[in-house]
Every structure is written in structure tokens, then in C-alpha cells.
Amino acid sequence: LEKGIYNVLVSDNMSEDGLKPILESATVNVVRENIYETSLPLDEVDALLIRSATTVTSELLDQMPNLRIIGRAGVGVDNVDLEAATSHGVVVINAPDGNTISTAEHTFAMLASLVRNIPQANQSMQEGRWDRKKYQGAELYGKTLGIIGFGRIGAEIAQRARAFRMNVLAFDPFLTQSRAEKNHVTAVTLDEILAQSDMLTVHTPLTKETKGLLNEKTLKQTKPGVFILNCARGGIIDEEALYHAVKSGHVRGAAIDVFEEEPAKNHPLSSLPEVITTPHIAASTSEAQQNVAESVSHEVLGYLNGKPAPHA
């Protein structure tokens, strides 16, 4: 390789348009192949671009001595062993803004679909039925939406919920009174949000603190007939506990986009008629994918060429 030419491996599927900054750069050789199958020797990779399908372990990093930066085209970096990256001297950056709107819109679409049984009713029509009684739903108007995790996505959801005239509660240990007021939500404790919400949606990262936040015990604290949503990260809600809570009728319905293990084909939750599931597509819009790919491409390119990485 010529001096000054960096090898960038794009391991997951990413927007062509968004990758333009690196694809058009003269200092970079871009290889768009899965890391487990690539023809590029791993010890020659200078930068790695990923979404959620690639898991970066310490063992993988051992094979990449030249690696300087990992760009995560999305928000969550739970698929990267951050401690191992640090000890290998590898910087990890994400794209924290690019898919906020898409994720909030998907969550809201899931919420509206859930309370009106739209996917189930559609399926029944496709199967030749006309079941008007079976699909009686509930209004969002006047209901209380509990948002657990009030970051960018949580705040966008709150805005949409207000447009539907819902009351919005938020639980987040980092939520200040002034941010709550600015966003017209009521800041409450975990116990309060569990007890008072008609619909509960989680928007935290997956960390030691949030893993299993909704579990057998906390699900029991929710209102009978509650609706539960997870378009954030698999594992924040204990899947087995949710399954049983739906089966028992305590949870009236759930909308789930993310799973403890992905791909999640033939997942037990997908078999329940009260649960609607999508295959981790909240951020899958052309707009969000262009945004996140562009953001990481710019930042990775800058870093390889000696600039600081703002989203490290």
C-alpha cells in the first residue's frame, strides 16, 4: 500500500450516499465486505465502520493491530467491547443524532398500530376475514404515556404524544426539572412511572443499570392492561417476563423492535397475538441511514487525517 492510504472496512450494510465522503477520498481505500468474510487482511484495517450486526470483541481486536477507530453508524455501542477497544488504543465513535427522528417516528407508529390492532386486522383481511368486533382498540387521547429514558429520542416521542393530547411522564436519573418543563413532561420516579402509565416505552441505552429494567417484579408494578414498547435495545425488558405478563393478561399488548439476541427469527413474543414485532428497523429509513453513514464517514476520515473525533 502507498503511504497515506488508509484501509477502511465497512462491515455492515450502509448507505452508499452517506459513505460518499470516504468513498471519494483519495487517502482511503474502502472495502465493503463483512468482517468475517472479507478478503482484506484484518491486520491491515485502519478503520472499521459498523452498524449493529457486527460484534466487536477483544479477540477480534487482537487480530487488528493497525486499527485506530471504529465508527458506529447509529447510537448504541453495546455491540462493541468498549473496555477492550480502549486497551487496544482504538477510538470508538457513534452517530448520536442521525436516526433520532426515524426511531421516534417508528416508536409512535408502533404505538398507534398497537392500540388499534392494525397489523392483526390487516393480517385477518389478507386471510379473507371481516372481523370488526375482534379488533376494537383504545384511544391515545387522554392516556398517560410513560417514557423511560429521556434523551433525544424520548424527547421527540414526548412531542408527538402531546400532539395526540396524551399526558406524558418521564423517568430518567439525568432529567433536570428545567428540561422536563421545557419539554412539557412530568419528571417522576421509576415506581411512579410504573404505577401511573397506560403505555410505557423505553428509550435508554443497554447498560448494566438498564439490563432487565422491566422484569418480573417491575412489570407487576405496572397498571393492569398496560401497553409496553421497546424500540431501543433488546434486554432492557426481560423477554421471558414480558411473555408471561402478556400471557397472563396483565400486559394488554406489546410492540417490540429489538431483541436480546438478533436475528430473532421465530421469537416466542412474535407468536403472541397481542404482540407486534418488527426486525430492528426503527432506524431503517433512507434519511436516517444517510445521516448516520455521513456522520461516521466524516468523522472517521477526519480522525485518520489527524483531526479530533467529537463523538468518541
Residues identified as active-site: 233, 262, 280
Place of cell 426486525: 279
In this structure, how many other beta carbons lie within 10 angstroms of the beta carbon of residue 63? 12
Q: Is 71 in the site for ligand MLT (CB under 6 A)?
A: no
Q: Is 99 in the site for ligand MLT (CB under 6 A)?
A: yes
The least CB distance from residue 89 to ligand MLT, in Å, is 24
| Cα angle 228, 103, 12; round to 5 | 115
* Nearest CA-CA partner of 180 in 162, 158, 163, 165: 158
Choices 73-81, 110-118, 166-174, 212-220; region in contact with ligand MLT by CB under 6 A: 73-81
SS3 state at 147 = strand
d(CA 100, CA 93): 16
The least CB distance from residue 106 to ligand MLT, in Å, is 10
Among 44, 76, 262, 285, binds ligand MLT (CB under 6 A): 76
Q: Is 293 in the site for ligand MLT (CB under 6 A)?
A: no
What nine digits make up the cell of 29?
Answer: 481505500
In this complex, which beta carbon is closest to ligand MLT, that of residue 52 or of residue 197? 52
In this complex, which beta carbon is closest to ligand MLT, that of residue 52 or of residue 113? 52
* Nearest CA-CA partner of 234 in 111, 71, 96, 52: 52
Choices 69-77, 106-114, 195-203, 262-270; region in contact with ligand MLT by CB under 6 A: 69-77
In this structure, how many other beta carbons lie within 10 angstroms of the beta carbon of residue 66? 13
Q: Is 236 in the site for ligand MLT (CB under 6 A)?
A: no
Determine which helix (DSSP H) or strand (DSSP E) holds 217, and give its type and residue range. Answer: helix 216-220
Among 71, 74, 154, 234, binds ligand MLT (CB under 6 A): 74
The least CB distance from residue 73 to ligand MLT, in Å, is 7
- Chain residue whose CB lies nearest ligand MLT: 74
Q: Is 51 in the site for ligand MLT (CB under 6 A)?
A: yes
The least CB distance from residue 165 to ligand MLT, in Å, is 29
Place of cell 404505538: 111
DSSP 271: G
What nine digits make up the cell of 256?
Answer: 417490540
Footprint of ligand MLT (CB under 6 A): 51-52, 74-76, 99, 283
